[in-house]
Structure 1
Amino acid sequence: MIDEPLERLRIAARRARELARNRAATGLRHEDADDDAGTIDTDGAQGFDPFPLLEALHRNGVRAVVIGQVAGIMHGSTELTGDLDLLWDGVPAHAPALAAAFASVNAQLADETGTPLAADPDSFLRPKVQFTSPGAGGDCCTPALPWGTLSVRGFLDRAIVAVDARGLEVHYASRNDLIQMRRALGRPKDLRRADELDSLHVP
């Protein structure tokens, strides 16, 4: 059994790519994902590899916390995904490093309506920015995004840090915080994944 969070993620990303390799493109992006199946059924699963962006964030000293199903996989979830969701503190002084990380992997940005945004620090000061990059697409959010009754700023402080043998550091939401977020969202996939995380005996 694989115990290392980043190794679990590498294996899951490889399985997602293999699953989607011979599948015809659907035109569906991560924001079009079905509320039950999730992004594994979108084109984002084809070539899914979150590591180039995670490594760029690390190189640029960005403390962005992985949320969503990538964080779930790092905790041991068996469900695959095709997108990468991030939460950062939204502090303007931290935006230039975030923009530099995304630019280094040729990420394209858009607002919530799909309108393209410049890849500059000001774009990241929005509550949520959608991104696509050669390896992964997803959402990059701040605590200013409406999260219902959840106070997600605390998620940043309680995040867990995974470190691999090469020194890559990835911050990801704690299991309890991720479960709270799943239950607050309340979609079929979220409730199912929350139940799965609840049954796992990991931090």
Structure 2
Amino acid sequence: MNGMIGEPLERLRAAARRTRELALKRVSTGLGHENADDDVGTIGTIGTIGTDGALGFDPFPLLEALHRHDVRAVVIGQVAGIMHGSAELTGDLDLLWDGEPVHAPALAAAFISLDARLTDETGVPLATRPEALLRPKVQFTAPGASGDCCTPDLPWGDLNVREILGRAVTAYGPGGLEVHYVSREDLIRMRRALGRPKDLRRADELDRLA
């Protein structure tokens, strides 16, 4: 994996802070990240909060827990976009890991350390155990962040997700923190494969940032 020091994580800290400040002016909507609009995303239009994921959004407790438990989970979605320079805010943290059973206990331990809750794609609660995380996708809610935790078994068009995992880059922060995130080129491919209005808009933005 390639590495970068400081700047991607500082972008993320600043964006999370702006999201929290924006959310302070709004009340709970009762909507979770799974209710995000396919056009505007979880934040919504300027000055509005689309879902409750933005309330108190801070992905760093979970990212630090993943690092402490030596979990090779790769940040995808708009948090990765922000780390690459996107100006759009988000209230979701989406993760991709290799789905190998041998790595599931460490991932479960990271979630357990934060008292995170897991559900399946329909919202049915799951016990926070290694076997639950072997599903193609589970949804999680942890202090500061909620989102999807996916494996390569989740269909993603014609993309080879395992190769995308192998090309991930790493950002380094204070105290030796390492955060792995999808490369800009692969994030653009993933966006275009999903094809929703917000994904195509964000892919175009990443293209311009190049």
TM norm structure 2: 0.93
Aligned mates of 1:21, 1:110 — CA distance in 2? 27
Task: Confirm whether residue 66 of structure 1 aligns to residue 75 of structure 2.
Answer: yes
C-alpha displacement of 1:36: 1.2
Match of 2:128 among 101, 113, 119: 119
Corresponding position of 1:24: 27
Counterpart among 192, 198, 201 of residue 189 in structure 1: 198
Supply the distance in 2 between the matched residues of 1:191 and 1:113 (Cα, whole angstroms). 26
Show structure 1 runs of 4+ deviating over 2 A: none
3-state SS of paired residue (1:166): helix
Residue 88 of structure 1 is matched in structure 2 by 97
For 1:18, what is the secondary structure of its paired residue? Answer: helix
Deviation at 1:39, TM superposition (A): 1.1
Matched, 1:98 2:107: yes
**Equivalent position of 1:34 in the other structure:** 37
State the one-letter code of the partner of 2:172: V
Which residue pairs with 2:162 in the alignment?
153
Cα deviation code 1:76-99 (max 9, x no counterpart): 000000010000000000000000
Secondary structure of residue in 1 paired with 2:176: coil
- Please state how far the C-alpha of 1:134 moved relative to its aligned partner: 1.6
- How many angstroms apart in 1 are the aligned matches of 2:195 and 2:183? 18
* AA aligned opposite 1:105: L
CA distance in 1, matches of 2:10, 2:176: 13
Counterpart AA for 2:174: A
1:166 Cα deviation from its structure 2 partner: 2.1
Displacement of 1:167 after TM fit?
Answer: 1.1
Query: How many angstroms does 1:61 deviate by?
Result: 0.2
Question: For residues 96-153 of structure 1, what are the alpha-carbon distances to aligned partners after superposition, in whole Å with 9 as ceiling and x for unaligned?
Answer: 0000001111110000110000001010000001000121000000000111111111
Q: Which amino acid is 1:63 matched to?
A: R
Please give the TM-score of this superposition, normalised by the length of structure 1: 0.96
Q: Which residue of 1 aligns with 2:149?
A: 140
Amino acid at match of 2:127: A
Deviation at 1:43, TM superposition (A): 0.6
Q: Secondary structure at the match of 1:130?
A: strand
The question of 1:11 aligning with 2:19 is answered no
Tell me, yes or no, if structure 1 residue 108 matches structure 2 residue 111.
no
* Runs of at least 5 residues in structure 2 that lack an aligned partner in the other structure: 1-5, 44-49
Report the 3-state secondary structure (helix = DSSP H, G, I; strand = E; otherwise coil) of the residue aligned with 1:57.
helix
Aligned to 2:179: 170
SS at match of 2:165: helix
| Ranges in structure 1 where 5+ consecutive residues have no aligned partner | none
